[in-house]
Structure formats: structure tokens, C-alpha cells
Structure 1
């Protein structure tokens, strides 16, 4: 496609700057039937011959006056492969004897190009210059040529594509009809009509669904204001016959203050473009549906994979912990520790993949509960204390806050800090230092506190080039093979998404060989006094003895049932195991009240799952049986699974593979509360 901006520039240079007709090379681009409209002196030309004749006459009148233009601004609008608009503005200077400026005009132009006989041609030139009183007696033409006021009716079109063209004078409210095709109101055959008739035409031609927006667009009381600083406005609309039209509005005339006082409206058929647009929108909609289904299928696969992997993982971790109690040989203990570490790494990878799947699906939500500032960092540091000790890394933790009691999604906060502290220890060489600094920043939001957590290490650091991509998916500066440090490249992306979910921010400073500093700043709601006191009192309650307590275990996996039974018996419980939800409900129904102190209920079981079994138990007639504490025990580790558990009035939720120390804490809490 040709360079329309360059052709437009050459066209302007031709009629403003040429001294002789020999320089009018632009005529090759002018269609024989081009319509040329100039305002200010109101010049109109029937065709190119008319224009060139006038141009020759103008050369004689100009004498020692030549025209220059400055500050040319050109915009381009490709309508389709048959029609292109260029429009813009230019400062016109009339120079006498090449030294003395005798005029300065601020002008606007619109030029329409179209294909004629296989070649691009200029179909219409519209040039707008404000009237200047002092120019009324000038002998030379101001715009495109000689004044031909009487030739207005001979202007046939802005171009073959346009079926309706009119000039609207915004002050007098008059409409001057330049062109209309069949299908428009017969009353518009007259040269001038009232602006209300124009609006009435719009109202009758346009489909009902488009009328309100169309009348807003064609609001002639506001259109001048909307055109300020713009070269045009456009509006696609549907007619009552189902066809689509495109209306273009350009400033036709401005006053000495630069205010638009008349506009040019051109309307053309837009049906084919709209049809393609609707087809593209439908294709995009179908593509979106397809992508959503694919994403849903991926999420379902990952969720199912999570359950299927966690079930055998529970057996691996459980038997490993049972084995540890019996081992005395240092070499075998080392082997057991390696199995446990590898299991935890595998579980971490599974959690990361699933967390990202949930973030991408938009299902990730906050689940805020009471906590104390610094407790999560203390818990995470404790989890990595052994690894830091093994590498002789100094692990420091400082907490300095005024408002200690907050509401926070503890699980997500724990994952944020676990990823960052784990990386700090992982990438810090032996005898290095890792520091976690937690402090409260000034914050003016009532009822909230702003907590900043810095994780600083003296590790290997990161290059400046890598930092911009740090939080992208699957991104690592050194892969596992090169660095010998395992990881998926998901941890930082998860951290960033969780921090964003909490309306917080994360920043990183790093230098190769000098370590890294991650700064997380998150606002937290301050826990109210009653909530705080209740939690403090519950945390101060005395310990509980499990000896003699009876648990009914509903678990369909034999290995998991064996492991859980063994661990519970070591805690002091008496345990009876059943294989599905039906057997669990039958056991509670047929045994005397208070036979069992608590039920550990697996979720995915044959015949009847844990949710249905809990529902049945909660609706038993005997209150002692209906209100028995029930703890979910599932390989599904997602928030909606926990929500389902609480919706059927389960008391708590434990995920597999089971951390038996955490399970012991949950059992104590539930039994203490019952």
C-alpha cells in the first residue's frame, strides 16, 4: 500500500508552494472527478480541470506572494483495502517577497483516497480555514483556488463510498446537504434543512438498540467540545433494515478563537466490515471458551493428580516416620532422612504446580484468620533450622511491631516466607548469614497496619539482567543441572501472585556474589480486642491427654489406615478403622452414644464419601451422636475442599501426606473445644 502521508504532504506543497503548473506532479494522483471543498472563502471545484484552470489563474494573481506551511500534523485512517483517510492540521504563512509575512492561518484538512481502475486516487479534498475579516478584500485566493460560491451544488461526493454528506452549522443550526443516495428522507432533497429534521432522520433510520447512543454521538450541542484537540469522530450504527453504517464527523470550520462552528458529516455503508468484525468477535469468543475449557481440563487433571500422588506420598512419609523410631544404625538413619527430605521436596513441587494452576484459573482467594505478627516467620525459620545448622548458616530473626495481633491468610503467608527463606538458605554457601527482619511501617489507613518483612542473605545473588524476569513462570537463572540445586522455577511466581492477592508489594535487590534482599510490604487488618483475647485465652489452655480416648477412622486405603492407626495408638488413642462412609455411619448409629470421642474421616471413599457420611451423621436423631467431632483427612489440599468440609459441619481439616505433629495439634484443639 502506498505512503499516503507522503502523498498528502506533496499535495499540500503543490497548492501552497508551487510557482508554476509544471510543478504540479501530484495531478497523477488526482481522480478526474475529485471533489474539492475549501472553506473560509468558500471555494468549490467540479473536477480536476476546473481546479487546474483556477490554479493557473492564481499564479498570475499571486505575483510576489508565495505560501509556506509549518507544524504539519498528519494522521492516517485505513478504512479498508479500497478507502483511506488522511487528516490533520497545518500552519499557513503568506510571505511577500520571500521576507515579509502578510498572513498566518491555522488550517485543517481531510483527504480521501480510493481505488479507481486499479490505482489509488485522491477522491476528495476538504480544507478548512477560519474566516478572517481583514482578508475579505485580498486579491489572491486563500485556499485551493478561485472562489466559486455558485458551484456548491455541483460537488457530487466526498467519494464513491459515501452515501450521505452534509455540512452542519452549529450556531445557526442549519444543515447543508452535499450528497445523499436513495434510501434517505425525500425532504432532504432540498439544499438546506433544519437540524431537528436531521435528528429526526437519525431517529427514524437507526435501529432501536442504537438510538440512545446515536443521539448522544450526534448531540450537536456538545459535538464542538468533543472535537477539541481531535481531527475527527467516528460512530458505527445499525439501521432498521439490518445494515451497518459508519458516520465520520470532521471540523469543517473554526472561528478566530479556534472553536468549531461547523462540521462535516459523511456516512457510508459499514455492513461488510461489521460482519467481519462480528465474525472475528465470535471467533475470539469461541477461542476463549475453548481456552477456558482447556484450562479447566488442565486444572482438573492437576487436582486429580494431586490426590493420586498425595495418597501414596502419605504412605511413603508415614512409613518413613515410623521407621525412624525403630532405627539405631546411623547409616540407616541417614537413608531415612534422605527419603524424608526427598518426599518433602516432591510435595513442595506438587504444591507449587497446583498453586499456579489455581492462580491461573482465578480460583485463589484469601482465607484470613487471627495470627500474631512474627509467628509465621518463626514457624518457617524453625522448619529450616536443621538445614541452616547443617550448612553452618547463621539464621537471624528480628521482629519490631506495635500492633501484634492481625488478620492474615496464614497458609499463604507461610508459603510466601517458605519460598523466600528456603531459597535464601539454598543459595547461601556454608558459613553465610540469612536474616529475617519484620517491622511495622507508618500507615494512615484506619484499622490496618503495614508490615514489612525483609529476607536478606549473603548468598550467590542474581545478575542485573535476570532480575526483570525473576517473577515469571518457570524462570531460573541457573537450571538444576547447572547449579545442582533442585527447583521448578515456580516459587517466585507464586510469591508474587500471593503478595498481589494480599494487596501488597515485593521488591528485590541483588548482585552476583553479594547476596539478595527481598522486601515484602503487606497491609493487614488489626484484629479486634475481643477476637484477640479469645485467641490468647484458647492458646493458654492446658494440654490434653489422649490416653483412653477412642477414634473411629474412616479410610479406604489399607496402607494409610495402617500408618494412621499406628501413629494414633502411639499417641495413646484407641482406634477402630472402617473402609468407607457407609460403614462409618453404621458404626456410629449402632454403637452406644459416646462410644467414640472423635471421627477421622477420609473424603474420597467408595460407596459413600466423607462429605455425605458427615451429612448423615449430623442429621442423626441423638444429639450426642450427631454432634461428635469430625476431622476431615484428605489428599485434596485446596481451599474449596476445606470449605466443603466446614459447610457440612466438619470440625477441622488435615491434608495428606499427614504431618503427624500437626495432626496431634489439631486433635488437641478439637477435643479441647468439644
Structure 2
């Protein structure tokens, strides 16, 4: 018994000892683990904060550089445009004032060698920190600074080197312009009052350039001492010293300032073109509270675990592990969010991506349709036409992407050519159809009083304007919404003369609309409505700025009216020169016709256009009333000779109406479907319903003339590629290193009767020309980028040969290098002309006629 009691006592002692030891180990382990996790949490938060702060600083710095670069480039553009060699100083000043005002500057001054400012425009300005500003200008550097006008308004100054005569006879060393300080201060503002971070722009001595605290404290350093009087002054002084040293060396500075009352993550970087530094501060108040709450919960859990059995401890350890893992996952998610916020892209390519995909989608889709209907000649021809239109527009967009730097620097040029407004509108309608169909939207096209279908204009830029407006309308209009494109003409103002016609282009939608605040800045680069309504909408905000620039360059105007949730109307006015062409006599017999469409405006314009080509037309707005009119005329034995029938009608649609008309009048009367939608998607059903053919909206006069005559026994011969007998038999030498391009070129030119020989590079081209008899080749088509010997070298080598035709044989550049400097390079090397790829057969034949015949 004693032995058993002794063993029991020993067991009890062991259990008690083990339990106490387990408790002590558990307490120590949890205390150690708690401290360790506190350290890990703090380090992780500091790391995430540092990454977040770095990203935010980089973003603000990049935005600052963009704002400053834009204004400095505008000032430099003024110095490039305004010559200092004009006859009078007043004329120079007047020109300078005009140039800076149109670029949005409020002040203009010239700086002399002794650093005195001569104000030309605006109130007098006193600089806050003049020495580094003037020293940089003396060195020919671009510089920004801040100052204050005589009325107490803070301004930002932009200085660039410029030598203009001053009123006192001196010659300036720099041109200085200024805008209100709000131009850069807005980039530091936040929309919420409880923003997570706040920023200042300071000088090396801590004085504020831009800050919400500038009214309370003279500088950032003083604000630390005054805001935290109970903190250790030595710790603040060490922080200030480190920050000052980093600013002096223009290095980035990152630090966690641990104060008893508040902890802060500090990040500082230098700003370009200035002696300024961006200081961003992340208070840890909310984060510290979260961490402290988490630590309090962990302590309570630890105390509970100590009071329970080992199994409970295991469960708690397991639960703790899960909590820790979840915490790390959340911290990693927060870190990824912070990194994603720093990768915001505002490049022009991302802005244009949706515009590029639109014609590309049309090309891919039409290619698939043509492949599926390869035996249907009319279907394939229609697809190829739309592919060509989309390809031409896509090529224009690519040129715009490559030429964007010229647009933003004000060096964009227009290529004026004869265009058909009918073809432009039809092409745009075809391109936009895919977008409209995807959102089940209603798309209407109105034309009225078209006095000149053919005009002179830059077709690529006009397409860009139309596609930009329509794409935005589709984007910002909900599904089943309505979009309307209208075009009408009137006589141009007297100062333009009778050779011009005024064109009104209106795009109207019932989409989400815009606020008055956003409307005031819609034409600014990168402007985009900051609203939850458009968070998932693509676009970087360059579209309307570019559209405005193009319209201004064309000498036109643009006006926008919009209300939130009611829609937007954009009105563009362009005065375009009429094309001098010999118009065909568009007259048809006086047929009796019925126009059926639920759009009353379209009915009126269509009837007017039909009347102008000799047709007597009635109109009605519904299928039911159309059937009544058809039935009435049939009973009177005076049937309509042709019916134009809209596809989408209220109540009975166009196909249902067509079936009923066939029951009344039989099969003899042509019924033509009209629609702005693609005929291919409902052609089979339409044919089955008794539809004879299709005319695409908008209904221009020429569209109606050519579309109707083929259904009344007056069809024109099918269009084919006509051989030009003047060029038949001409032998050409084509230098082209790409086999597919050679195959295309040979096929196109062989169809018009010409004979081609292939040279795979410039060296082979030179050899074949040397080996030929004079006059054997009538012309050379020369690619530029080729191996062994490029087109420039081959042309120069041919021109240097001592044979009678070396100087006279036409050499035409045929290359994808299509910028103006590329054309100049070709001509300078000895080529006669330049045509850009992809190959435009009409242009190539025109050039060959010009130089051969």
C-alpha cells in the first residue's frame, strides 16, 4: 500500500510537474511566439508600407514629370514658332502673348542676364527661391519654380532658354511662363477626407512648396517639433538630419518614425526640373490599432490555452496556425494590391487598344464569313469590301499610334485627298456594327440635304473622328440603348467662298452622360470621368483630346452637351472643299414607290432624295399602315412599282411585312430591304420572305440611284478589274525580299497586262538592270528594307551607272516606311516617287502612267 501510495505520489508529482512544465513551456512558447509574430507583423506592415509608399511616390513623381514636361514642351514649342528676328519688339511680344495664352498660361516674362524679369503678360511675379532657378536658366537648363503675383496669387513658373530682345535693349536668356499653383497642387489632393496617405512638396530646408499645413507651420521640420511637443526631440532631430542629408544628395529616403503618440512611414524623393522634394507620409494609426487588437486577442487565447488540457492546446495551436496563415494571406493580398496600384499605365497604346481591336474584329469576322461562303461570289465580294475598309482604317490607326508624338507636339499634318462622304459613312457603319450588335443597341443613321458627296479631306483623320465618337457612344451606352449618327450640309459662310460646304456631324446617345465638372476638362489629355459608372470601361482618356486636336487642325469646331444618366450629344462642324468632279446624271423613271421606316426623319430625307432623281414616293411609319396602302393601291389596280422596307419596325418587322405584301401583290413587285445592320446575318431569311435585295443605310442620293436601278431592269455591268491597255506589255523590275509581297504585287499588276521580274534584294536588282538592254525595263518598283543592299543603296548605284537610261528610268519606292521623312529620304536617294504598303493598286497604276506614258 505504501509502495502504491509512493508510486501514486510520484505519478502525481510527475503529472503535476509535467503539467506545470507544460504550462511553463506553453506560456514561454506562446509569449515567444506572440512577440515573434508581433515583430513579423510589424516588419511585414513596414515592408508593405514601404512598397506602397515607393509606388505612390513613383506614381506622383511620374505624374509631376508629365505635367511639367507638357508645360515645358509647350513653352519650347512657342520658342520654336516665334522668331526673334521679327521687325519689331512689339510684334514679337504680341506673337509670344498669343502663343502662351492659347496654351493656357496666365503669365509671361523675359529674363535678362542680370536675372531681372520683364513682365510681358500678366501681373508682376516675385520668386520664392530665385537663385537656383536663375542659375539653371543661365546654364541653359529647363527649370520650374514657384512665386507669387502682386495680388497674392501663388503661381508655378516654367523657364526655358530663349533669346528675345527686351525693351531695355538687352537680349533675354530665358522665356518664363506661369500658371496658378493649382496646376500641380491638385495631384497631391485626395477625394476622401480620411485618405490613407498625404503628401507635401518641400525644399531642402523643409519649407513648404505645396502642403495643406503651410498655413499653420512655416516648414515641415518645425511642424514636427510643434505637433509632437511631448516626444523625444533627439529622435525627431535624427530623422530631420537623415532626411536633410538624403535631400542634399538627391537620394530617395525611407524611414519609420516611431513616436509615442503616432508612428509614421516616411518616403521622400526628389522632383525633376526643380530643387523640390516629394514627401509622402503614411500614418500607422489605423494599422497599429488593428495590430494591437490582434495581439490582445492572441494574449487572451494564450491565457485560455494555459487553463485547458493538452488536447485543447493542440486545437488552439492548430487554430492559431490557421489564423496566422490567413493573416499572411491577407498581408500578401494587400501587398499585391499595393503593387498593382503602382503599375497603372497611361500610355497612348493602351488608350487606342479598343479602337484597334474594332476593325481587327471586322477583318477576322469577315474573313471567316468569306471562307464559309467561298462559293458565293457576291458574299465573298461583300466580305472583301468590308475587309478592305476595315484594313484601311486599321492602317490609319497604326499610323496614328506611330505618329502620336507629332500630334502631342503640335506637328501633325493633314493629307488632303478626294473622298466620298458616302463611302466614309458606310465604312464607319460597317466597322461599328460589331460593337453595336454585341450590346444589342439600336443604331440609327440620318442624312439630310447632302449637296456634295465628294469633298477634299484627310480620310484617315475623318474616320478617326467618327470612330472615336461612335466607339465612345457605344461604350458608355447601356445594352438596348440608342445611338444616332446624323450628317447634314449647308452652304459654307461667305468668308469660305462657294467652293466649300459646311458639314454637320452629330452623334447622340442615351447613355450614362457626363457631369458638368467633367465636361469642362473632357478635352484635356488623359481626362476620364472618375466614377464608379465607368470603372470597368476601357480607355486612358486620350481620345477626345486627340479628336479636338484633329478638328482644330481641320479648322472645324466641336461642341458637347451631356447630362448624367440622360445621354450625350456631340456636334462637329467641318468646312470642307467640294471636289470638282463630273457628276453623272442621276435620273430614274417616275416610278411609284413606298418607303416604310419607323424613323420619320429618314422617311422625309429618303423621299426628298428619291424626288431629286425623279421617283414619286410615299412613306409610312409602320408595317400595318404599309399593308393598308399596298392593299388599297392593289384594289385600285395601281400597284406601287417598288417598296423600300426597313428591317426593324415596331409591331410587325420588315420580314413579316414582306410576306404579307407578297400575298397581296404576288412576286412581280421588287421589295428592297433597308437597314444599317449587316445584310449577311439575315439574308437567307429575307430571301425566303420575298425580299429581292438590300440597300444599306444611310440612304445617300447616289446610294439610292445605283441601288434601285438594278432592280428595275437597268442594272449596270458587274464591276471587274479592267485591264489598262496603255500599260499592257510593260515590263517592270520589282525589288522585294518578301515572297508573299512579291506574289501579291505580281498578281495585281499581271491582271492589268504588265510583266514583272523579281529581284530578291537590292544587289540582285542592280545586277539585273546592268545585264538588261537599255529600255528593257520600263520602271523599277523598289522596296527599302532589304538584305545585302537596301533600296536607297540600290537606287544610288543604279543612278551612278554610265548607261543612257540609268538617270531616266522611273524608280518608285514601295515600302512600309510611310512617314514624311521616309518619303524625303527616298526622293533624296534618287527615286521618282513613293507609295506606302499595303499596296494600293489604283495609286500604283496612276504613278506608272505618270512616269511611263
TM-score with structure 1 setting the length: 0.43
TM-score with structure 2 setting the length: 0.35
Flag the structure with more relative contact order, 1 or 2, with Cα contacts below 8 A and sequence separation at least 6.
1
Structure having the higher strand fraction is: 1
State the structure with more CA Rg.
1
